[in-house]
Structure 1
Amino acid sequence: MADTIYTTSKNAIALVTGGSRGLGRSTVLHLAKRGVRSIFTYHSNRAAADEVVAAVAAEGGRAIALPLDAGKVSTFDAFVDTLRAALRELGTDRLDFLVNNAGTSHHDAIAQTTEEALDALYNVHFKGVFFLTQKLLPILRDGGRIVNISSGLTRFALPNSAPYASMKGAVEVFTRYLAKELGARGIAANTVAPGAIQTDFSGGVVRDNPELNRFVADNTALGRAGLPDDIGPLIASLLAEDNRWINGQRIEASGGMFI
Structure 2
Amino acid sequence: MHFTSETSSNGVVERTFLLDDVTGVLWSPESGSAGAPLLLLGHSGGMHKRAPGLVATALHGVIDHGFTVVAIDAPGHGDRERSDTDRQRGEAIQRARAAGEPIAPIVADHSVSIAERAVPEWQSTLDALQALPGIDSSVPVGFGGMMLGVATGMMLTAADTRIGAVGFGAVFVNDALLDAARQVTVPVEYRIPWDDEHLDRGAALALFDAFASGEKSLHARSGRIHPAPDHERADSVRFFARHLSPSSR
Assess same fold via TM > 0.5: no
Higher strand share: 2
Q: Given the two structures, how large is their TM-score scaled by the length of structure 1?
A: 0.39
Higher relative contact order (CA 8 A, sep 6+): 1
